[in-house]
């Protein structure tokens, strides 16, 4: 008997009759999954005021529509690797896409509990997909991990920006308003499932018994939770995530406080996200060449974050320049954060365990970051203190990322 309980003879017959999937089809399915990873979240920000007015939500509760998915990332990310070990990598990703589509539709239903239950389901599905995609890349594209990570990060950024840009126009199309703008993205999840579905006949599982621990990595390797290198990668991911989601949440408000119109601030945010695509692709190309040592990237990307934040603090009239710079640098850092899971590990199961650890801690800070910055803004009655706090975060970002970029592997 094999791990799934199927007789060996039947398993061999299925394996012999299954045709290998074309690399192009696998890549398209992977990119379409990447397209879903942020669109369901970034669509919320431009419509937040409309949702508040329609439902009578207080500001703190309304902001939870963005922070709740990130909190779900933190809670459910460690469960992704065990789920994949039991169900198979492909089936777990396919199930996540179905749950994602259902969650998006459910949160658009005119029933208050559905808004929160659907948002939580969306967060669960995205947590699973976020963790397992780096493992899928490690397995299927072991020699092109940097390029493929850049491609799916660019796709992710493009659809995130598209969701932000189309949010308000779509909300004005019908009487359903923001609900139709939220719900339309379920179609993207279903398209991704349809393209990815040929892979469901595979059921890749780690070649070891599943332990009760939350990181079922291959037994010959140490748990990432006991690795100093893994903690450096985790802290780097946390700092990057906190900065990105704080910018997505508050950058338009920071610009508006400096006399920039709401329409222009929204345009700047879209430009920032589209510049992230360029940052994704440039960084991916560099990582492909600097596959062992990425410290040269860190000495460019993190100081670029510092210049962008400092520029907004000192010369806010040049907000467009700072938005472009932050888009390039944050786009580059997310590729580094995702690619490093495969670069620093020996095995796709080990990559999944490291990804689950780093994204759990990372998105916990990402969920708390925007709320903390908002609280500092409220208590200081301005944006100077929050921007200084973001600058301090970049010191942590630099130290952890520098250590994560050094040429070594997890034990």
Tens digit of pLDDT for each residue in 296-311?
A: 999 999 999 999 999 9
Rounded Cα–Cα distance for residues 294 and 11 (Å)? 42
The residue-averaged pLDDT of 175-202 equals 89
pLDDT digits (tens, 9 = 90+) for 45-96: 778 778 888 888 876 677 788 888 988 988 998 888 888 888 888 899 999 9
Please say if the pLDDT value at position 220 is more than 70. no
C-alpha span between 323 and 70 (Å, rounded)? 23
Q: What is the pLDDT of residues 245-285, one digit of tens each?
A: 888 878 888 888 899 887 788 788 888 988 988 998 899 88
What percentage of the chain carries pLDDT values higher than 70? 89
Average pLDDT taken over every residue of the chain: 84
**Tokens 């039947």 map to which residue?**
10
| pLDDT band (50, 70, 90) for residue 370 | confident
Position 189 scores a pLDDT of 96
What's the pLDDT score for residue 21? 56
Confidence of residue 134 (pLDDT cuts 50, 70, 90): confident
What is the predicted pLDDT for the residue at 218? 54
Average pLDDT of the segment spanning 183-196: 95
Phi, psi (degrees; rounded to nearest 5) at 219: -65, -25
| 242 vs 25: which has the higher pLDDT | 242
Kindly tell me if the per-residue pLDDT of 348 is higher than 50.
yes
Give the model's pLDDT for residue 201: 75
Sequence-distant (6+) residues with CB within 8 A of 41 are 66, 69, 70, 126, 160
Instruction: Compute CA distances 141 → 148, 210, 216, whole Å.
Output: 8, 25, 22
Which of 7-16, 150-159, 161-170, 311-320 is modeled with the greatest confidence?
311-320
pLDDT tens track for 291-346: 788 999 999 999 999 999 999 999 999 999 999 999 999 999 988 998 898 888 88
């Amino acid at each position: 008997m094999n791990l799934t309980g199927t007789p060996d003879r039947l398993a061999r017959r299925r394996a012999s009759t299954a045709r290998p999937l074309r690399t192009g089809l696998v890549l398209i399915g992977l990119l379409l999954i990447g397209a879903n990873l942020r669109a369901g979240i970034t669509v919320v920000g431009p419509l937040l005021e409309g949702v508040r007015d329609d439902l009578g939500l207080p500001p703190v509760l309304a902001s939870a529509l963005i922070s709740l998915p990130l909190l779900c990332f933190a809670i459910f990310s460690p469960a992704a690797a065990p789920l994949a070990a039991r169900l198979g990598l492909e089936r777990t990703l396919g199930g996540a896409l179905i749950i994602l589509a259902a969650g998006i539709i459910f949160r658009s239903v005119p029933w208050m509990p559905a808004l929160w239950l659907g948002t939580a389901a969306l967060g669960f599905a995205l947590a699973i997909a976020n963790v397992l995609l780096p493992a899928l890349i490690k397995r299927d594209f072991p020699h092109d991990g940097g390029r493929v990570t850049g491609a799916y990060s660019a796709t992710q950024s493009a659809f995130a920006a598209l969701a932000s840009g189309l949010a308000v126009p779509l909300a004005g199309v019908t009487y359903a308003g923001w609900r139709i703008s939220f719900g339309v993205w379920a179609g993207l999840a279903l398209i991704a499932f349809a393209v990815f579905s040929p892979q469901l006949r595979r059921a890749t599982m780690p070649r070891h018994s599943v332990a009760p621990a939350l990181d079922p990595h291959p037994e010959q390797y140490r748990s990432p939770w006991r690795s100093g290198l893994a903690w450096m990668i985790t802290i780097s991911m946390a700092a990057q995530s906190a900065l990105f989601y704080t910018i997505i949440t508050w950058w338009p408000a920071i610009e508006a406080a400096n006399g920039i119109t709401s329409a222009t601030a929204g345009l700047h945010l879209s430009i920032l996200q589209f510049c992230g695509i360029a940052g994704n692709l440039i960084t991916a190309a560099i990582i492909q060449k600097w596959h062992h040592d990425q410290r040269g990237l860190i000495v460019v990307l993190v100081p670029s974050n510092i210049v962008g934040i400092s520029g907004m603090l000192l010369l806010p009239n040049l907000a467009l320049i700072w938005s472009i710079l932050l888009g390039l640098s944050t786009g580059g850092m997310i590729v580094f954060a995702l690619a490093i899971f495969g670069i620093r590990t020996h095995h796709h199961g080990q990559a999944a365990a490291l990804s689950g650890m780093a994204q759990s801690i990372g998105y916990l800070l990402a969920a708390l970051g925007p709320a903390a910055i908002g609280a500092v803004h409220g208590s200081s009655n301005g944006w100077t203190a929050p921007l200084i706090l973001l600058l301090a975060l970049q010191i942590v970002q630099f130290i952890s990322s520098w250590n994560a970029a050094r040429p070594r592997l997890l034990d």
